Structure 1
Amino acid sequence: MMKKIVLTGAQGRLGQELRAPLAEMCHALLSTDIKEAPKDLAPNESYVQADLAQMDQVEALIQGAEMVVHFGAIPDEAPFEELLGPNYIGAYTVWEAARRHGVRRIVYASSIHAVGLEPTAEGPALTNRHRPDTFYGLSKCFAEDMARMYWEKTGLEAVCLRIMSCTPEPENTRALGTWLSYGDLVRLVRAAVTTPTTGFALAWGVSANDRAPVTNAEAAFLGYRPQDNAEDWAEKFLAAAKTPDPSDLAQMRLGGPFARVPLGESGVEAIRKMTAGD
């Protein structure tokens, strides 16, 4: 069991799913977010409200940690200026503070949007070039490249998880391929934390979907074995599906609606409208 794990973004939707499982894996879990503390802390969990863009605050969090699970960021497309602090500078402060304090590994919530303009039908390998669909996706490219650089220059390990569509259940036709269940999210993060050595690694955050457009064959050494499959919802979504439009980037690129929205405008809202049939 590890001595200390730090979880950033602990009050985000996915961070809240990870707090209890991570608390079971260490003697001390330090959860942090820019939001106020939750009321359901585990017995071995402490909470610090902090701004990831402030190096002094991040250093105080990370001191003594063996591993950082970095999920803190704005999880949507927005103007670059809004993303700069939490998504770009926040990633740098986490990696640099981790280097200074001898952290062994960072498990990072990257995103499909780092390659969101890749055609869905091509099934890109993990090692494909970056092809971001938004400023948000660009921030994930920045952090992935920084993670590789810190590994090669300083020996700080990193596992970058390219999370796809992580929701309790699939929400639309696209999610028949891209869905990541909450249970499989926990399995993926647990694998990334417990694998003895990783170096720099990439893995897709996707469940065992029959229609998944990508494969984790190159990351098999992590031992991630997803158990959920969006195909259980296929009949429901396909029966209500509209006529496909091959000229629509939202249907033809891995990033879905993020591939179509103008730079700086919410991709999450575009997904909501797509799901609602607006």
Structure 2
Amino acid sequence: MKKLVLTGAAGSLGSRLRAPLAAMCDELVSTDIVDSIDDLGANETYVKADIADMNAVEPLLEGADMVIHFGAVVDEAPFEELLGPNFIGAYNVWEASHRHGVRRVVYASSIHAVGMYPKNEAIGIDVPHRPDTFYGLAKCFAEDLGRMYWEKRGLESVCLRIYSCAPVTNPRAVGSWLSYDDMILLVKRSIETPITGFSIIYGISDNDRAPVDNSGARHLGYRPRDNAEQFAEEIYAKAEPLDPQNPSHYCHGGPFAGIPLGKSAMSLLNLKKDDADS
């Protein structure tokens, strides 16, 4: 690769992708809304940019081979707060990619695009959208945007429905965990695969209790290596009994499925400050 562009480079997941991506290309352009980031690689440039501003996004993509789009508000919030970064930002990335002849967008989608399905349904990559929040709705919008740009304009997209990419701290994560190493592997496979067209794949490790089915995306060559079963006994021993009538417990979206629209869910996940979920 000559040039890769990474949005959301200052986030928990984006920051872990910078070095692996830099090793895959001649030039990595990292971008976010913070003033600066530390430890830039020798072939990495940082540009502060708001993805909701097309005039800021478009110049970044000139000459790029692919965009790894991880920039967004990563929580439920009022629709008006998500409109710019999560909806318009997605349009700007795909449209600017089209204008500059970018080959592929690798997008950090989320389980919350289908978060209202019950967990006893092992859903595949082809189930209809069933968002649990405005945040999940933005992921549905971007996935449909990616499909449309592939079918109408030939711009490839790989949508990574990330589940729980954070340390295992709760019973849900025993099934939904995506380790940081597997996350990096997933992104690398999404870049390296010669042809993807429009593809969806769940971002999840090789957990014994994984409640989603990735068999329809084997063409991407993603074979996760980690398994959250190693944490199961300790996590279950500490956890309070779960309520089978509570959407936060029985739906794929976890707390996102149980909260009122527009209210934060990340605070309910028992994560450390620098960790992310889906």
Q: Normalised by the shorter chain, which TM-score bucket?
A: over 0.9
Pairwise CA distance, 1:140: 0.1
d(CA) in 2 for partners of 1:184, 1:96: 29
Instruction: Report the counterpart of residue 225 of structure 2 in structure 1.
Output: 227
2:238 alignment partner, one of 233, 237, 240: 240
Task: Tell me the amino acid that sits aligned with residue 35 of structure 2.
Answer: E
Question: SS where residue 121 of structure 1 aligns?
Answer: coil
Distance between the aligned counterparts of 1:100 and 1:68, measured in 2? 13
* 1:208 pairs with 2:206: yes
1:166 match: secondary structure: coil
Give the one of 237, 248, 269 matched to 1:271: 269
State the AA in 1 paired with 2:124: A
Contact 1:109 1:160 in 2 (8 A): yes
Please name the residue that 1:71 is paired with. 70
Match of 1:261 in 2: 259
Q: How does 1:101-140 map to 2 (within 5 A)?
A: 101-140=100-139
State the match for 2:27 in structure 1: 28
Q: Which amino acid aligns with 2:226?
A: D
Q: What letter is aligned with 2:241?
A: T
| Distance in 2 between residues matched to 1:109 and 1:67, nearest whole Å | 14
Partner residue, 1:85: 84
Please report how far the alpha carbon of residue 241 of structure 1 lies from its aligned counterpart in structure 2 after TM superposition: 2.4
Identity of aligned residues (%): 61
Distance 2:40 2:99 in 1: 28
1:198 corresponds to = 196
Deviation by residue 1:83-126 (Cα, 9 ceiling, x = unmatched): 00000000000000000000000000000000000111101111
* Kept in 2: contact 1:258–1:270 (CA 8 A): no
Gaps spanning 5+ residues in structure 1: where? 274-278
Query: In 1, distance between residues paired with 2:128 and 2:10?
Result: 32
Q: Are the equivalent residues in 1 in contact too, given 2:206–2:227 (CA < 8 A)?
A: yes
Give the SS at the match of 1:239. Answer: helix
- d(CA) in 1 for partners of 2:173, 2:228: 7
Q: 2:168 aligns with which of 167, 170, 193?
A: 170
- Report the secondary structure of 2:2's partner residue: strand
The structure 1 segments of at least 4 consecutive aligned residues displaced by more than 4 Å after TM superposition are: none
Q: Quote the Cα distance in structure 1 between the aligned partners of 2:232 and 2:121.
A: 21
What secondary structure is seen at the aligned counterpart in 1 of 2:21?
Answer: helix
Q: Secondary structure at the match of 2:19?
A: helix
Deviations 1:1-47 (A, max 9, x none): x0000000000110000000000000000000011221200000001
Alpha carbons 2:76, 2:263 under 8 Å: kept: yes
Aligned residue for 2:20, secondary structure, equals: helix
Q: Distance in 1 between matches of 2:117 and 2:134?
A: 16
Query: Normalising by the residue count of structure 1, what TM-score does the alignment of the two structures yield?
Result: 0.96
Cα deviation, 1:42-95, whole Å, max 9, x if unaligned, reads 000001000101111111100100000000000000000000000000000000
Query: In the alignment, which residue of structure 2 is the partner of 1:180?
Result: 178
Deviations 1:164-206 (A, max 9, x none): 0001x21111100000000000000000000000000000000
Q: AA paired with 1:24?
A: A
Which runs of no fewer than 5 residues in structure 2 stay unpaired? 272-278
Residue type matched to 1:267 in 2? A
| SS across alignment from 1:272 | coil
The amino acid that maps onto 1:79 is: P
Give the structure 1 partner of residue 145 of structure 2: 146
